[in-house]
Amino acid sequence: MKNKGQNQKLFLKNFPLKLLGFVLAVLLWLVLNNTQDPVITSSVSVPITYEEGGLAEKNMVAISKPNAITIPVKLHRSRLRYLSADDFTVKADLTEVIGDVKEAPEASKISIEITKASSATYIQSWEYPQSQGYVKVVLDTLKSATYLVQFNTTKELPEGYQVGTLSSDPSRVTVSGPTSAFSNLAAVKANVDLSAITDGGSVTAPLALYDGNNRTLSGSGLTISQSTVEVTVSLNQAKEISISIAGSSGTPADGYVVSKVDYSPKLLTISGSKNALANISTVSIPSRELDITGASSNKTFDIAIEQYLPEGITLSEGQSGTISVTIELEQLQTESFQIDASQFQLVNTKPEYEYELIDPVLTLTLQALQADLDSFNPETLQGTIDVGGLEAGEYINVPVTLTLDSAYTMTRDLIVSVRIIDKTAQTEEVQETESTTVTQSTSVTNTQETSEASSQTATETTQESTSQETAAQ
């Protein structure tokens, strides 16, 4: 008891000084501690857990929402290494909208609930500003629509084959999701791997969503009622055929003609069954498609070729369905040529007649395209002159029938002057002349003979008279 009293006496001795010393020691520890391990402000990113069940009941969906929020905290620097997202729990009920629901793409305010874990004792304080006690979430109404399944083909078929028809089972599928996302949706397509097709048949093809640029839509929030469809593929053979132009219709402006018809492409790749392809080698564009009535300059026509393909024949993939036809028009020119008349042959002549061309050189005036006129050689021109119905005499308008290319047109008929002589009449005149000469010679001879006979008679008479006179004497 005596010792206990002594100890108590010692403890209380100078107690105010001892208490002051203790307080000073604590203060010194605090000062040293804050100096060596101060309280700092930091932050931690905490994921948000969303409650979406009630949203579906309202036929709505969240199309854009933050994944996490950042919470500011205070703690000693030495404890910073312990700070983690597990120190807090953040929940948001998407049906708890602050104010009115905004129409997408505007965001609505959703209140959040933040809870600090009981184990996070090293966190001295935390605060999520009341002005930001919410997150912004874009909400949209749900929509469903039915789409026809289209097709994308991948890989290559064997050479000479084309895809004939593609059909899917089912042929239509349902797409569901936010209403605003449908504005970017253009098609639902099945991606068909052609390498799995040998001689036609079926293949399972995955479905995908595509926008207007044929790019896949991802992250849109849209879903398809099923992920694949069964696609049936029929194969056709491919064939290359020619294109022909039947000509133009109508008459161009006066003095103009078609100088050239050009078109592109010249060949066409088609596909169809083997039997259908066996019956076609060319496709013809009818002249009614190329009307140049009254035209005085070149005209170009774009013709849809598929309308002229027979049933069961289609254009091959990648083949343009338009044929471009250009009709070039040119104005006709006129030029005159000197022609040697001896180039032409007389036909239906008669052996008793002799024929003579009075005009040795003729003038031929032609109308044609300038290029054709430049290439025309008058020395090679052939023709005939029909004299079968002509008698002897001179004729000045005998027509010449020319062997002339269709590119040329005569501005007027070519005529020639012909002299026809009857050789029989000439022979009779000669004979008559000879007969007259012979008659005249005979007359002279007879006259001479008569004269001689008269002279002889006179002589004889004289001689008789002389003899008689002599006898009388």
The single residue listed with the structure tokens 């399944």 is 149
In this predicted model, which residue has the larger pLDDT, 441 or 224?
224
Answer yes or no: is pLDDT of 319 > 70: yes
pLDDT confidence of residue 198: 66
**What is the domain-level CATH number for residue 54?**
2.170.120
Q: Do β-strands 228-245 and 282-285 pair in parallel, antiparallel, or remain unpaired?
A: parallel
pLDDT confidence of residue 451: 44
In this predicted model, which residue has the larger pLDDT, 450 or 266?
266
Q: Same domain, yes or no, for 127 and 146?
A: no
- pLDDT, one tens digit per residue, over 369-421 is 999 999 999 999 999 999 998 999 999 999 999 999 988 999 999 999 999 99
Q: Same domain, yes or no, for 156 and 115?
A: no
pLDDT confidence of residue 18: 66
Answer yes or no: is pLDDT of 356 > 90: yes
Q: Same domain, yes or no, for 118 and 69?
A: yes
Among 99, 117, 141, residue at a domain's last position = 141
pLDDT confidence of residue 2: 54
Q: Same domain, yes or no, for 87 and 163?
A: no
Q: Same domain, yes or no, for 232 and 264?
A: no
In this predicted model, which residue has the larger pLDDT, 9 or 309?
309
429 located within any domain: no
- Which residues lie closer than 8 Å to 111 by C-beta, 6 or more apart? 92, 93, 96, 98, 133, 134
389-393 long-range Cβ contacts below 8 angstroms, 24+ apart: 389/348, 390/418, 390/420, 391/420, 391/422, 392/353, 392/420, 392/421, 392/422, 392/425, 393/419, 393/420
171 located within any domain: yes
- Under the banding of pLDDT at 50, 70 and 90, the label for residue 210 is very high
In this predicted model, which residue has the larger pLDDT, 123 or 465?
123
pLDDT confidence of residue 29: 65
pLDDT confidence of residue 64: 84
- pLDDT, one tens digit per residue, over 129-156 is 755 688 889 888 889 999 999 999 887 7
pLDDT confidence of residue 32: 58
pLDDT confidence of residue 274: 81
459 located within any domain: no
Among 306, 331, 356, residue at a domain's last position = 331
d(CA 277, CA 268): 13
d(CA 415, CA 401): 9
pLDDT confidence of residue 6: 62
Mean pLDDT score of the chain: 83
Residue 407: φ, ψ to 5°: -75, -15
- Under the banding of pLDDT at 50, 70 and 90, the label for residue 441 is very low
pLDDT confidence of residue 374: 95
pLDDT confidence of residue 100: 80
pLDDT confidence of residue 162: 78
pLDDT confidence of residue 424: 84
In this predicted model, which residue has the larger pLDDT, 54 or 429?
54
Q: Same domain, yes or no, for 114 and 67?
A: yes
Q: Same domain, yes or no, for 89 and 182?
A: no
Q: Same domain, yes or no, for 151 and 100?
A: no
446 located within any domain: no
256 located within any domain: yes
pLDDT confidence of residue 103: 74
162 located within any domain: yes
pTM of structure = 0.46
Answer yes or no: is pLDDT of 1 > 70: no
Answer yes or no: is pLDDT of 322 > 60: yes
Answer yes or no: is pLDDT of 300 > 90: yes
- pLDDT, one tens digit per residue, over 10-34 is 666 666 776 777 777 777 666 655 5
Sequence-ordered alpha helix ranges (H) in 39-145: 53-57
- Under the banding of pLDDT at 50, 70 and 90, the label for residue 472 is very low
Tally of domains in the chain: 4
Percentage of residues in the chain having pLDDT higher than 90: 45
Q: Same domain, yes or no, for 261 and 167?
A: no
Domain that holds residue 297: 246-331
* Whether the Cβ atoms of residue 80 and residue 109 lie closer than 8 Å to each other: no
Q: For residue 404, which of 318, 344, 342 has the smallest C-alpha distance? A: 344
* Whether the Cβ atoms of residue 92 and residue 54 lie closer than 8 Å to each other: no
Q: Same domain, yes or no, for 118 and 205?
A: no
The highest-confidence range among 26-35, 114-123, 463-472, by mean pLDDT, is 114-123
Q: Same domain, yes or no, for 221 and 164?
A: yes
In this predicted model, which residue has the larger pLDDT, 444 or 226?
226
Sign of CA dihedral 219, 220, 225, 227: negative
Answer yes or no: is pLDDT of 303 > 70: yes
Among 141, 172, 203, residue at a domain's last position = 141
Q: Same domain, yes or no, for 254 and 218?
A: no
441 located within any domain: no
pLDDT confidence of residue 15: 67
183 located within any domain: yes
pLDDT confidence of residue 9: 63
